[in-house]
Amino acid sequence: MPTRTLVTASLLLLALSACTTSPTGRSQFLIVSPASAIQQSRGAYQQAVDSFRGEQKIADQPQVDSRVRRVAGRVVTAATQQYPQSSNWDWSVVIVDDDEVVNAWCMAGGKMAVYTGLFEQLSLTDAEFAQIMGHEISHALANHTAERMSRAMAIQLGLAAVSAATDGSGSAGQSAELLAQVALELPNSRTAEREADGLGMRLATLAGYDPEAAVTLWQKMAALNDDRPPAFLSTHPAPDDRQANLNRMIPTMRALNPTGSRLGATAITIVD
């Protein structure tokens, strides 16, 4: 393809990717559609699970399984009630046996991972764990996976166009599944983080957990050894005012579920 044509096609693709509205009402510029993000995340998730399995890192701890199933299941119930389209997702979680890693994530379509380091290093209460799962699930509900995949694709297209313009190969053959994997490692924007903070607190509160746990959770995160910060922070930048923002939201969140009534837990698949 001639250089000018490749550059024009790349820019046209970006221009034709219309702004869409996220489930939270925010305008999003997406190259990768939410449906495509869900489809490609399935393959990326399976690759991650296969890697954990090959390294013998899938936890076999019945008590942890039960706790994740109970707490995450209640948050998923709140998610599906608030966002009915997610009731068709294949909700599943792999519990990674790695006490050194403080991390959790949720891909598009409800594909989740929880690392045992969360429990070992943070001594989480159920309410604090619910805040983590609410936050992670919110990233999926709000199409943040699709946003990060779109960022990765935009960078790829830009590099291909520059390469072609300088008589390089202009290759743009990165697979969609690889984009989904790359998206997991990209940091979320401040906007996405604020969105997941608010929505995550809402889901955890509706599920029956104390919203104040969002603040104590981040206090525990901040108290971890500075020489070995939690992996969670590599994709979840923590602005200095985060705890203050969370604290301001507590009264509004409490009003959503004044009695703290607990939802039933949606059945989620524990990957073994």
Of 93 and 1, the structure prediction assigns the larger pLDDT to: 93
Q: Is the model's pTM score more than 0.75?
A: yes
How is residue 31 written in tokens? 């190259």
pLDDT classification of 3: cutoffs 50, 70, 90? very low
| Average pLDDT across the chain, whole number | 83
* Burial of residue 233, with CB atoms counted within 10 A of its CB: 0-12 exposed, 13-18 middle, 19 or more buried: middle
The CA distance from 84 to 156, in Å, is: 34
The CA distance from 86 to 204, in Å, is: 16
Share of the chain above pLDDT 70, in %: 75
- Is pLDDT of 165 > 50? no
pLDDT classification of 184: cutoffs 50, 70, 90? low
Contact present, 157 and 172 (Cβ < 8 Å) = yes
Catalytic residue (choose from 100, 128, 136, 195): 136
Least confident range of 62-66, 164-168, 188-192: 164-168
Residue spans of the domains in the chain: they are 3-257
- Is pLDDT of 19 > 80? no
With tokens 């006490």, the residue in question is: 99
pLDDT digits (tens, 9 = 90+) for 86-116: 999 999 999 999 999 999 999 999 999 999 9
Of 186 and 172, the structure prediction assigns the larger pLDDT to: 186
How is residue 94 written in tokens? 């792999």
Active site residue 136: yes
- Under 8 Å CB-to-CB from 114, ≥6 apart: which residues? 68, 72, 93, 94, 95, 96, 104, 133
Contact present, 97 and 225 (Cβ < 8 Å) = no
Contact present, 201 and 211 (Cβ < 8 Å) = yes
DSSP the chain: --HHHHHHHHHHHHHHS-EEE-TTS-EEE-SS-HHHHHHHHHHHHHHHHHHHHHTT-B---HHHHHHHHHHHHHHHHHHHHHSGGGGGS--EEEEE--TT---EEEETTTEEEEETHHHHHH---HHHHHHHHHHHHHHHHTTHHHHHHHHHHHHHHHHHHHHHHTTS-------HHHHHHHHHHSPPPHHHHHHHHHHHHHHHHHHT--TTHHHHHHHHHHHS-TTS--THHHHS---TTHHHHHHHHHHHHHHHSTT-PPPPPPP-EEE-
How is residue 196 written in tokens? 């997941």
Contact present, 53 and 74 (Cβ < 8 Å) = no
Beta bridge partners of 96: 58, 115
Q: What is the arithmetic mean of pLDDT over 193-214?
A: 96
